[in-house]
Amino acid sequence: MTPVARNRVIGLAFALAIFIIDQAVKLWVRNGLHLNEIRLYELLPFFDLRWTENYGVSLGMLTATSVEMRWILVAMTSAIALFVFVWMLRERKLIDIAALALVLGGALGNIRDRYLYGYVVDYADLHFGEFRPFLIFNIADAAITIGVLIILARSLLSREKPDPAREPDIVPES
């Protein structure tokens, strides 16, 4: 197996692991803790588990107020996940593939929730008093956010050095 193929297999396995972990925690929150019934489980002075049904996408935008809108969101987010999957298969470096795998695994976890329940299960509530630096989120949301931040950082901060062996010789003018 070539190094690039190995990186892609690792990326797909990583995306699958993110998806499985996200779904396992959501199952535990729902059926183990019964958070959907008790609504709030205080863990630390700055972190709670709080049951939230998110009918929108990022930052609560595009809220699904009807069955039709729910399926439009499933289709839209599935198309984005497909785009990320194809992009991931085109990348060569493990760091880029891993970042896209975070986004893909998280997206698949949230798509599955929306497909099954009509909403995404959110439960992680980081707060400092009444100040919440983030909305209530889940592992899938965190994976997507971290993956996007890595992609942005790599695109803004890393520059590919030109390979002198691939550049044509430039003959100076006399």
Cβ partners under 8 Å of residue 143, min gap 6: 18, 22, 102, 103, 105, 106, 109
Q: Is the pLDDT of residue 101 over 90?
A: yes
Catalytic: 122?
yes
Q: Indicate which residue of 48, 141, 163, 169 is catalytic.
A: 141
Report pLDDT digits (tens) over 118-150: 999 999 999 998 898 888 999 999 999 999 999
Report pLDDT digits (tens) over 50-59: 999 999 887 6
Q: Indicate which residue of 22, 113, 122, 125 is catalytic.
A: 122
Report pLDDT digits (tens) over 15-55: 999 999 999 999 999 999 999 999 998 999 999 999 999 99
Helix and strand element counts for the chain (H, E) = 5, 3
Catalytic: 96?
no
Split at pLDDT 50, 70, 90, the class of 63 is: confident
User: Closest Cα to residue 44, out of 104, 162, 128, 106?
Assistant: 128
Amino acid at site 38: I
